Amino acid sequence: MLHDKIMQLKKEKDAVILAHNYQLPEVQDVADYVGDSLGLSRQAAKTPHKTILFCGVHFMAETAAIICPDKKVLIPDLAAGCSLADSINVDQLRDWKQQHPGAITVGYVNTSAEVKSELDYCCTSSNAVNVVKAIPKDKDVLFLPDMFLGSYVAKMTGRKNMYIWAGECHVHAGIRSEDIHKLLDSNPNSELLVHPECSCTSQIMYDVAVGDYKNRQVQIMSTEGMMNYAKQSTGQNFVVATETGILYRMQQQNPEKNFIPASRGAICQYMKMITLDKVYSSLMEEKYEVRVPKQTADKARLAIDRMLAIN
């Protein structure tokens, strides 16, 4: 059985398998740790194993390679990219910085290593608000690349001097407020969990503020925040607005609760490119290694270390 062969290979190769919440269920099942970008970065930073097999998308494996220059970092499929990370390149960022001299640049972890090397701070959805709060109020902030997360952070921090790049994740951009309302109407006792990358986040915040959700619980949080909330809540039914891969782990951890995707079409084809066969081949042949040039990695590490230091 492939699952058992992978478990054996992990020991032989002294490898740890890290998997994102959006990975296929069978890939999550062979992972030593499943989580969001921040949690995966923290696990990579402290692993004693000599090889990290990263089941996620390319920028995540790059981040692990930057944090752990002494480790071998593998990704089972080099083509596993990210539409959000592709929405800005390093030349575009340099041009943007030139237009705003003295501004502090904050970049979502969903960016290439080259882009990270031009940042002052890296962040994830779980600590983006706190990262921006840590910046002096009189400093302009350039936030990239996700416009929906950026809009959410601007609202939560009350910043008026924040400029936001017009990038988006194609999966989260397709989750619409009106679809969520219909689902909640047909599941009246459900709580709503929303990822701040969703295009509907600002509308939902407005709807909550004007009372459209009445007394219903609405939580806007990272995927790991959703996981923790679902475990702790006394609620039984949840509408979940993010990529559908998270539902597998949610259901595993809370078998007595019900989880409904806000959009059944919210599937990231890049996350689903990694299969159990590819995980096995990657471990067996020690392919494909992700390397970041030392000069780029050294510059990017500063922004990532700042991210890891802020809860």
Number of H helices, E strands in the chain: 15, 12
169 labelled binding-site residue: yes
Note the residue count of the chain.
Answer: 311
108 labelled binding-site residue: yes
123 labelled binding-site residue: no
76 labelled binding-site residue: no
197 labelled binding-site residue: yes
Site of tokens 């959805």 = 125
248 labelled binding-site residue: no
198 labelled binding-site residue: no
**Which run of H or E residues covers position 33?**
strand 33-35
Write down the H helix ranges in 158-200.
170-173, 177-186
Instruction: Please choose, from the candidates 131, 73, 100, 47, the residue with its C-alpha nearest in 3D space to the C-alpha of residue 304.
Output: 131
110 labelled binding-site residue: yes
DSSP track, 270-307: TGGG--HHHHHHHHHHT-PBP---HHHHHHHHHHHHHH
37 labelled binding-site residue: yes
168 labelled binding-site residue: no
49 labelled binding-site residue: no
196 labelled binding-site residue: yes
Binding residues for iminosuccinate: 20, 37, 108-110, 125, 195-197, 223
Binding residues for [4Fe-4S] cluster: 82, 169, 268
Binding residues: 20, 37, 82, 108-110, 125, 169, 195-197, 223, 268
